[in-house]
């Protein structure tokens, strides 16, 4: 259970410099939405939960500009790095950081590190890129990242050597859970050297698997793009006798993309996710029955589902377990099951794969990326460190990195999202033997 102490954000020191955003803050002070610097955003959202923790309810530090800041904008140098797999909105965040730093704080020295954490290690020989408002114009219209990216962490000692060498005072890390673990090690190395360098993360993942940040940027764009594949598979399935559409979507450990894309179209008969074990002994006859009754069926699978049927080994450079290809395996099992039963099938298999994450952010994600970037800049300028920005109950907040890497955000099989999926699809809660009524 998350306790009040888990939500305390580290700070490099007291803010002694008047913020250039004072004017904005004064106006804010006259509205009912005004938040005092000492205010906190409650972690729990029901009276019962808050009541149970009277006296010490856990709460987040709200994001936003502070009246006094820690860093003198005229004297600092800022670095930005993007790490891990692509995600819609990376360029929006880079541009948002650069514009907020330059236009509002007057920071003029901003560098981008190339190809993830490798760009911060001298022996990889990557030059840094100077980032200016003119240089980032229109980058938000492109997918990918103008800085390049890579998987895998690098030695924090070499990274902090590089920050020292370049005189970087603030490092913004845009990355997923593995990259945030790296950011934590960098912040620890900075502390060990007693330096005043802030490390602030903007969490990135289309899988939406980082906890306590509301949702991650790029997730909405990715599942939106995935709906195109689901629509195509549904159209194909409906057009032929024994039509079965099978769509595999990204989602290594968390099935949020599969759930949301399926709910957005509301045509899927089955959604299979990593969080809910798949019993093919029950699923296959259920599917045949559904096709017999309705003439077609649509199955949406998250790539991490059904791994219990596959013998995959090893890990990628980020430490993520390598997966077997369940979509292809399932296609084979469905085809042979229909063949054995002598039932006609026309199966169309679609895996949009990287198509859903290499696109530019949609307008919602663009707004979200910009606001996260603004929040990240305010936090870093105020001297916060070893934290990421997130949105909790529609409020932008500061989340300590140790908390975000301590667990994974997953679809709760007992929660209301999965309940909505079960309602929308009509699939049983389990395909295990007792539920094989339809077989
Ligand atoms: O972590 C996001 C993600 O999109 C996963 O859903 C997917 O399995 C993985 O990245 C694949 O990325 P890559 O092939 O770049 O390692």
The predicted structure's pLDDT at residue 55 = 79
Measure the CA–CA gap between 195 and 162, rounded to whole angstroms.
Answer: 13
Q: What is the pLDDT, as a whole number, of residue 21?
A: 85
Closest atom of ligand 1 to CA, residue 257: 6
CA distance 197 to 171: 7
Binding site membership of 209 for ligand 1 (Cβ less than 6 Å) = no
Would you state the pLDDT for residue 30? 65
Question: Which residues lie below 8 Å from residue 13, measured CB to CB, with a gap of 6+?
Answer: 70, 196, 383
Residue 204 CB less than 6 A away from ligand 1: no
Q: Name the closest-CA residue to atom 16, ligand 1.
A: 85
Beta-carbon contacts of 174 under 8 Å, excluding residues fewer than 6 positions away, are 80, 81, 82, 83, 90, 93, 94, 145, 201, 202, 204
Sign of the CA dihedral running 385, 390, 393, 395: positive
Burial of 68 (0-12, 13-18, 19+ CB in 10 A): middle
pTM of the shown model: 0.93
CA dihedral sign of residues 256, 258, 264, 267: negative
State in Å: Cα 312 to ligand 1 middle.
16
Whether the CB of 357 sits within 6 Å of ligand 1? yes
Quick check: CB of 391 below 6 Å from ligand 1? no
The Cα–Cα gap between 386 and 189 comes to 11
Report the pLDDT value the prediction gives residue 80, as an integer from 0 to 100.
98
Check residue 191 and give its pLDDT: 98
Predicted confidence at residue 321, as pLDDT, reads 80
At 238 the pLDDT is 98
Question: Mean pLDDT in runs of 10 for the chain (439 residues)?
Answer: 93 93 73 70 84 85 94 98 97 98 97 97 94 97 97 95 97 97 98 98 98 97 98 98 98 97 98 97 98 98 96 78 93 98 98 98 98 98 98 94 97 95 95 60
Known catalytic residues?
207
Q: 10 Å Cβ neighbour count for 72?
A: 14
pLDDT score for 439: 46
Residue 112 CA to ligand 1 center (angstroms) comes to 23
Whole-number pLDDT of residue 436 = 47
């Amino acid at each position: 259970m998350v306790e009040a102490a888990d939500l305390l954000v580290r700070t490099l020191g007291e803010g002694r410099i008047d913020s250039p955003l004072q004017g904005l803050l004064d106006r804010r002070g006259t509205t009912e939405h005004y938040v005092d610097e000492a205010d906190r955003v409650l972690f729990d959202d029901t009276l019962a939960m808050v009541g149970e923790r009277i006296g010490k309810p856990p709460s987040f530090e709200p994001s936003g500009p502070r009246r006094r800041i820690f860093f003198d904008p005229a004297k600092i140098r800022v670095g930005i790095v993007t790490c891990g797999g692509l995600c819609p909105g990376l360029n929006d965040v880079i541009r948002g950081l650069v514009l907020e730093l330059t236009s509002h704080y007057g920071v003029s020295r901003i560098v981008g590190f190339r190809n993830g954490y490798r760009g911060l290690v001298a022996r990889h020989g990557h030059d840094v890129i100077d980032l200016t408002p003119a240089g980032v114009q229109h980058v938000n219209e492109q997918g990918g990242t103008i800085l390049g990216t890579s998987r895998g962490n690098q030695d924090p000692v070499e990274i902090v050597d590089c920050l020292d060498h370049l005189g970087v005072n603030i490092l913004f890390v845009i990355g997923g859970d593995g990259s945030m673990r790296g950011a934590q090690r960098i912040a620890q190395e900075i502390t060990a050297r007693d330096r005043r360098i802030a490390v602030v993360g903007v969490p990135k993942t289309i899988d939406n698997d980082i906890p306590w940040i509301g949702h991650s940027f790029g997730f909405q764009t990715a599942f939106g793009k995935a709906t195109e594949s689901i629509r195509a598979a549904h159209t194909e399935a409906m057009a032929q006798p024994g039509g079965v559409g099978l769509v595999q979507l990204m989602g290594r450990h968390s099935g949020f993309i599969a759930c949301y894309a399926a709910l957005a179209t509301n045509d899927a008969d089955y959604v299979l996710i990593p969080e809910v074990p798949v019993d093919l002994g029950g699923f296959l006859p259920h599917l045949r029955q559904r096709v017999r009754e309705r003439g077609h069926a649509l199955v949406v699978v998250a790539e991490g589902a059904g791994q219990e049927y596959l013998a995959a080994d090893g890990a990628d450079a980020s430490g993520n377990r390598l997966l077997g290809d369940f979509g292809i395996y399932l296609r084979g099992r469905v085809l042979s099951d229909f063949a054995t039963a002598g039932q006609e099938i026309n199966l169309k298999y679609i895996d949009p794969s990287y198509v859903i994450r290499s696109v530019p952010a949609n307008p919602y994600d663009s707004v979200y990326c910009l606001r996260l970037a603004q929040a990240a800049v305010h936090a870093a300028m105020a001297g916060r460190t070893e934290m990421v920005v997130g949105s909790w109950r529609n409020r932008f907040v500061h989340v300590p990195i140790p908390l975000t890497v301590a667990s994974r955000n997953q679809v709760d099989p007992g929660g209301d999202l999965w309940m909505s999926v079960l309602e929308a699809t009509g699939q049983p809660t389990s395909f295990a033997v007792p539920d094989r009524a339809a077989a």
